[in-house]
A = this chain, B = another copy of it.
Amino acid sequence: MSETLSPTASRERRTYSIGELARRFEVTPRTIRFYEQEGLLEPERRGQTRVYHEKDRVRLALTLRGKRLGFSLAEIREVIQLYDHAPDGDERQLRRMLDILAEKRRGLERQLEDIHALQNELDDVEDRCRDSLDALLARHSRDT
């Protein structure tokens, strides 16, 4: 793995402005501020302007990935909190976390099934489509 959300691993000193991040991920600054408001990002403040670090960039990437999979921002926040609090807590909390993880996994498994089902259906459409096209072209070449 090339990157992680673990705070101990953010050893690069690169920072980003809100505009840089926005261009990089093809979202608007407004979106990034909104994600902060929703507790998904926690940029540093230098004066009154926001300064984003690697940790924020990785979180944003995770957020957008979650969005592409249809997760709500609330669900994504949950996952991020799993990340941030993975190593701590008492036994009960850790076991609860493992339960939540297992549940998330089941959700992903179902999404995999759904994708395969949809792929099969697209195959079906494509087959019929190609059949029609072949018939059309055969008729055309015969008529010349």
Number of interface residues of A (CB under 8 A): 51
Question: Is the Cβ of B129 less than 8 Å from the Cβ of A66?
Answer: no
List the one stretch of A13-21, A28-36, A42-50, A119-127 in contact with chain B.
A119-127
> Does A97 reach chain B (CB closer than 8 Å)?
yes
CA distance A137 to B92 in the complex (A): 12
> Does A11 reach chain B (CB closer than 8 Å)?
no
A87/B122 contact (C-beta < 8 A), A65-B117, A115-B112 known: no
- Select which of B5, B98, B115, B131 is within 8 A of A69 by beta carbon: B115
User: What are the 8 tightest A-B residue pairs by CB atom distance, in nearest-first order?
Assistant: A70-B70, A86-B128, A94-B133, A86-B125, A65-B114, A87-B132, A87-B128, A86-B129
Apart from the given pairs A87-B128, A90-B136, 16 other A-B contacts in the complex at a CB distance below 8 Å: A1-B124, A4-B124, A65-B118, A68-B110, A68-B111, A69-B70, A70-B71, A79-B121, A87-B132, A91-B133, A91-B136, A97-B125, A98-B126, A101-B125, A108-B115, A111-B111
Chain A residues at the B interface, C-beta cutoff of 8 Å: 1, 4-6, 62, 65-71, 79, 82-83, 86-91, 94-95, 97-98, 101, 104-105, 108, 110-112, 114-115, 117-122, 124-126, 128-133, 136-137
